[in-house]
Chain A
Amino acid sequence: MKYFNLVWAALFRRKTRTIFTLISIIAAFLLFGLLNAVRVAFTSGSNSLAGNERLVVASRFSIMTGLPESLKTRIAAIPGVESVGHENWFGGVYQDPKNFVFSFAVDEDYLATNPDILLTPEQRKAFANTQDGALVGEALAARYHWKVGQKIPLQSTIFPRKNGDKTWPFTIVGIYKVSKDAPNGVDQMFFLHWKYFDEGNMYGQHSVGWYVVKLRDAKDADKVGQAIDALSANSDHETKTQTANAFNASFAKQIGNIGLIVEAIMAAVFFTLILLTGNTMAQAVRERIPELAVLKTIGFSNRSVLALVLAEAILLLLIGGVIGMAIASVLAPALAKGSGGMIQLPPIGWLIWIEGAVLMVLIGIVVGVLPALRGMRLKIVDALAGR
């Protein structure tokens, strides 16, 4: 730590140059943070623990093709199934088509299958007793300043009511919290009664979007899944049962290989960054050769000189990287908010921070190693003589 002053002073020996380099590094790690948030947004929910003990039963043909309501009791009868609920995609928007609301019509048993939604017994009771009741996530409620007891209209982009009007009235009966390890976006959801939806819907046909099954034991996932699919084999409503994790993962895959795109961009960004910072470091060390020679004259060992230059490079990367990722952490929620809920960006988690920190140190080493070796190998006598 006693060398910190020395490293710090060397770093800011040329303020303008260091600040310019810092801005480049900040830009790179800002991108790193944002792009990783995007990647996580698309892949989150595909590796949660709870996601392994829940099955999603959807039509084999398309998520938009419904399943008969009658399937529910037959699924519930399969050994290993703890509870069964079902959901329909409601496709709601609030006030403006831009304000997308992730809304689902669910039956009375659905909540028991979803451990990520935390409700008090009063909230449960209020929801059960209110025909047009709605449960909303705390993040969603905060966004539109909704209060319990408030009546709000939600438009469905898909389903008109019997009178042809697409605006459905709801009463908010509960604002729920989510469990600590809930996938991204669960706190942005809106749940309404399936019965209210099915009866009020112009085309109501006792159709269910997909079933959610909670298993007694995650180990039974394959066995129970096969049993469920066997119920409807060769019927006009064949099902496909997956764990919630697999379901989310395949859904993300449909959109495209986000991970690959992100990696390709990051590769281009970091390649440029290494070149740029490496050049700055080389320049900085070239200018300071006489100073490094003095350090060695005083008695600094070769290894300390190497370490000093490397530390300088790593420190440069760490400062820029941390600032960049901090900006990304502030910007990501702001972008999500600005997009009106269309883009759900999770906060930048500690995993990304660790990954970022490792990258900062690695890049610091890569850009610092050549100049550091140069500093280490310099001959004092030559350097002092200006050769």
Chain B
Amino acid sequence: MNAAVAEVQANNGPLVQIRGLSKIYTRGKQKLEVLHHIDLDIARGDFFALMGPSGSGKTTLLNLIGGLDSPSDGSLVVDGKRIDKMAEGQLARWRAGNVGFVFQFYNLMPALTAQKNVELPLLLTKLSGAQRRKNAAIALQLVGLADRASHKPNELSGGQQQRVAIARAIVSDPTLLVCDEPTGDLDRQSAEEVLTLLQRLNREHGKTIVMVTHDPKAAEYASHTLHLDKGTLVEQGVVA
């Protein structure tokens, strides 16, 4: 199979292809199997919600998909690349180009302005300073915070901070957005704003989104929902 054929197959197949994925943590002598033989495909352009009680392994699965952690067993192909085989440095480069992250507690740099926070991932690219500023401004505009560009995180509300975080996640135009409880720390209204934004990114900009949440209302915004319990998949439902 030559490279061109592989490329075509990759583009047509699912974006994320998980086969027999396990994750075992060793704490001292104790072994803890957090994920047990997961098989899962996530289609290109999907908005995918992962639900489950705490300790079910949903964040671990998300981290594996995002390339933050490596599996103990099984294969993990994202966009045609075997990321489970990648070394740490390779994985970092891959994340920079392919994944955007959104966290529950926003995780913005408190010392940097919104604009500079959004620019952060672009520092890893070859873009010029002017280009970086322009792209960051566009991303901020997209999340509706162009007027807050020069504010620092502690001068913004929770919802606004999360939207800055989303702008940071999309600024380098990744195919995959990985969101860990993006609304977990927000009030109802801000949560809805953030979820609507994610939905728009999914529908209008074709971003594939994988979101961990324990909030059924949040999961309603997704096109697919998957339940995890004690490290195994429980059901795979299609909403709407």
**A and B interact physically:** yes
**Number of A-B pairs whose CB atoms are under 8 Å?**
70
Contact B124 A298 (CB under 8 A): yes
Contact A301 B112 (CB under 8 A): no
Whether a CB of chain B sits under 8 angstroms from the CB of A10 is yes
Contact B101 A2 (CB under 8 A): no
Which residues on A sit within 8 Å (CB–CB) of B92? Answer: 296, 299-302
Contact B96 A298 (CB under 8 A): yes
Contact A295 B111 (CB under 8 A): no
B 121-164 to A, binary, CB cutoff 8 A, 1 in contact else 0: 10110000100100000000000000000000000000000000
Q: Smallest distance from the beta carbon of A287 to chain B beta carbons, Å? A: 10
User: In chain B, what residue has the closest Cβ to A382?
Assistant: B69
A contact residues, total (Cβ < 8 Å): 25
Of the candidates A9, A291, A299, the one whose C-beta lies within 8 Å of that of B124 is A299
| Bound form: Cα–Cα A13–B168 in Å | 20
Q: Smallest distance from the beta carbon of B239 to chain A beta carbons, Å? A: 28
Say yes or no: A301-B93 contact (C-beta < 8 A), given A5-B116, A9-B116, A384-B103. Answer: yes
Which residues on A sit within 8 Å (CB–CB) of B60? Answer: 381
Which residues on B sit within 8 Å (CB–CB) of A300? Answer: 92, 96, 124
Of the candidates B66, B94, B107, B123, the one whose C-beta lies within 8 Å of that of A6 is B123
Of the candidates B88, B101, B111, B132, the one whose C-beta lies within 8 Å of that of A297 is B101
Contact A13 B111 (CB under 8 A): yes
Contact B97 A299 (CB under 8 A): yes
| Bound form: Cα–Cα A6–B109 in Å | 9
B contact residues, total (Cβ < 8 Å): 29
Q: Is the interface of B mostly helix, strand, loop or mixed?
A: helix
Whether a CB of chain B sits under 8 angstroms from the CB of A203 is no
Which residues on A sit within 8 Å (CB–CB) of B132? Answer: 2
Q: Smallest distance from the beta carbon of A53 to chain B beta carbons, Å? A: 56
Say yes or no: A3-B123 contact (C-beta < 8 A), given A13-B111, A297-B95, A301-B93. Answer: yes
Which residues on A sit within 8 Å (CB–CB) of B109? Answer: 6, 9, 291, 294
Contacts from B to A (Cβ < 8 Å) = 59-60, 63, 66, 68-69, 88-89, 92-97, 101, 103, 107, 109-112, 116, 120-121, 123-124, 129, 132, 168
Q: In chain A, residues 345-387, which have Cβ atoms closer than 8 Å to a Cβ of chain B?
A: 380-381, 384-385
Which residues on B sit within 8 Å (CB–CB) of A380? Answer: 63, 68-69
Which residues on B sit within 8 Å (CB–CB) of A10? Answer: 111
Contact B69 A381 (CB under 8 A): yes
Q: Smallest distance from the beta carbon of B117 to chain A beta carbons, Å? A: 10
